[in-house]
Amino acid sequence: MRAVEIDRFGGVEELHIVEDRQQPSPAEGEVLVEVTGAGVNPIDYKIRDGSSGVAQKLTEADFPLVLGREGAGVVAELGPGVTDLEVGQRVFGMAPMGHPGGWYAQYVVQPASALAPSPEGVADEILAGSALAGITAWTAVHDLGQVRADDIVLVHGAGGGVGQFVVQLCLAAGAGVYAVASPRHRERLESYGAHYVDYTSEDFTQVTPSPTLIVDGVYFGTYEPSMDHLAPGGRIVMLPTLADLTPAKERGIEISVPAIAPDRERLCALAQQIADGALHVLISEVVPLAQVARAHEIVETGHTQGKVVLDVDLES
Ligand SMILES: NC(=O)c1ccc[n+]([C@@H]2O[C@H](COP(=O)([O-])OP(=O)(O)OC[C@H]3O[C@@H](n4cnc5c(N)ncnc54)[C@H](OP(=O)(O)O)[C@@H]3O)[C@@H](O)[C@H]2O)c1
């Protein structure tokens, strides 16, 4: 099968397309998915260059490694014991932590529990980029942030993959949301109902009330001023997993980082909200699989609008 492999950690030049990768087979509890689209996430380039915690746990046996931690497609084969999905069914999902991934390929094997049925009327292009960011946002906002209607939430990185979900989930919970992003995200964030803050021309600490909850998808440059600006008793949810939480803890601030896991019930709830039009997902770029290096370069700039998705076979 066709796949994007890396033989070793490094720059985008390490990404190469092969046509003869052996198609994986589903074991007990697993499903073979014929992939239509794969979401591109910051963790993908952090695995590619070896800097992420996930990369550090990989062994030689995992190489050549197929990247990609989420996507959409069609069930091609069921492993033994899988009774709740059907061959031919459209699905989307994300790899669990500790799983090597593999969505940048024509076929991927995933645990059945990491997949959910795709709702009618929502394109694979959207769903391919929704599982990982959606689950991250849900974990950040509900499990860790425990957002309430009386919260004032400040979101750094509001226009990006996870940020767009965080903003909308907090608004749906009734909270007031200050969405910090560069101006090209302004119209979209205001259309969701958020107060927009332009970090390129404004100091967020001067133009927003003290937040009771901060969800920070940026970390570098935002952490220190966020701690100073947080309301007494406020909480911070930091998205980058390698963030140093010590400075906040030393100040007695409740701070956490999401540890994400696929969850079919949550994936179904997110998909239903997308289908109903309650949750908007911007896919700003759909990049052919052959141009995977360009997709990584876009995401690696750190200024992605919504999500970037790889077209594996979206026309099917
Ligand atoms: N803990 C987990 O399990 C988990 C899961 C998913 C992601 N993450 C991490 O969370 C972070 C965000 O992920 P993502 O997928 O949302 O990334 P992303 O799509 O690249 O979004 C980041 C956003 O931040 C904006 N930004 C950059 N500098 C900013 C600043 N100073 N203030 C406000 N916004 C700024 C960027 O655009 P503009 O500059 O144009 O506004 C961009 O839209 C990454 O570090 C990722 O690795 C962690």
Task: Work out the number of other CB atoms within 10 angstroms of the CB of residue 267.
Answer: 26
Say whether 315 sits in a helix, a strand or coil: coil
137 CA → ligand 1 middle, Å: 12
Residues with CB under 6 A from ligand 1: 41-43, 133, 136, 156-157, 159-163, 180-182, 185, 199, 217-218, 221-222, 239-241, 257-258, 260, 299, 302-304
Architecture of the 133-256 domain: 3-Layer(aba) Sandwich (3.40)
Angle at 252 between CA 156 and CA 246, to 5 degrees: 65
Distance 184 CA to ligand 1 centre (A): 15
E-only strand ranges, 232-276: 235-238, 254-256
Task: Please report the atom of ligand 1 found closest to the CA of residue 259.
Answer: 3
Task: Specify the DSSP element, H or E, that contains 198.
Answer: strand 195-198
How high is the pLDDT of residue 64? 97
How many A from CA of 33 to the centre of ligand 1? 28
The pLDDT score that the predictor gives to residue 79 is: 98
Task: Confirm if 229 and 211 have CB atoms less than 8 A apart.
Answer: yes
Residue 98: per-residue pLDDT: 87
What tokens were used for 161?
């993959």
Pocket test for ligand 1, best of 182, 220, 296 (most atoms within 8 A of CB): 182
Alpha carbon distances (Å) from 161 to 41, 133, 208 = 8, 6, 23
Q: Which fold is adopted by the domain 3-130+281-311?
A: Quinone Oxidoreductase; Chain A, domain 1 (3.90.180)
Q: Supply the angle between the helices 161-172 and 131-138 in degrees, to the nearest 10.
A: 50
Query: How many A from CA of 162 to the centre of ligand 1?
Result: 7
Task: Please report the pLDDT score of residue 39 as a whole number.
Answer: 98
Tell me which residue has its CA closest to atom 18 in ligand 1: 160
**CA 138–ligand 1 middle distance (angstroms):** 15
Residues forming CATH 3.40.50.720 domain(s) in the chain: 133-256
pLDDT of amino acid 316: 67
Question: In sequence order, what DSSP letters do the residues of 47-105 get, joined into one string?
Answer: HHTT-SHHHHT--GGG-SEE--SEEEEEEEEE-TT--SS-TT-EEEEEPPTTS----SB
**Is residue 102 a contact partner of residue 25, using CB atoms and an 8 Å limit?**
no
Q: Where in the chain is the domain with CATH 3.90.180.10?
A: 3-130+281-311
The pLDDT profile of the chain, 316 residues, written as one tens digit per residue, is 999 999 999 999 999 999 999 999 999 999 999 999 999 999 999 999 999 988 989 999 999 999 999 999 999 999 999 999 999 999 999 999 989 899 999 999 999 999 999 999 999 999 999 999 999 999 999 999 999 999 999 999 999 999 999 999 999 999 999 999 999 999 999 999 999 999 999 999 999 999 999 999 999 999 999 999 999 999 999 999 999 999 999 999 999 999 999 999 999 999 999 999 999 999 999 999 999 999 999 999 999 999 999 999 997 6
Q: Which is the closest atom of ligand 1 to the Cα of 220?
A: 31
CA of 302 to the centre of ligand 1 (A): 6
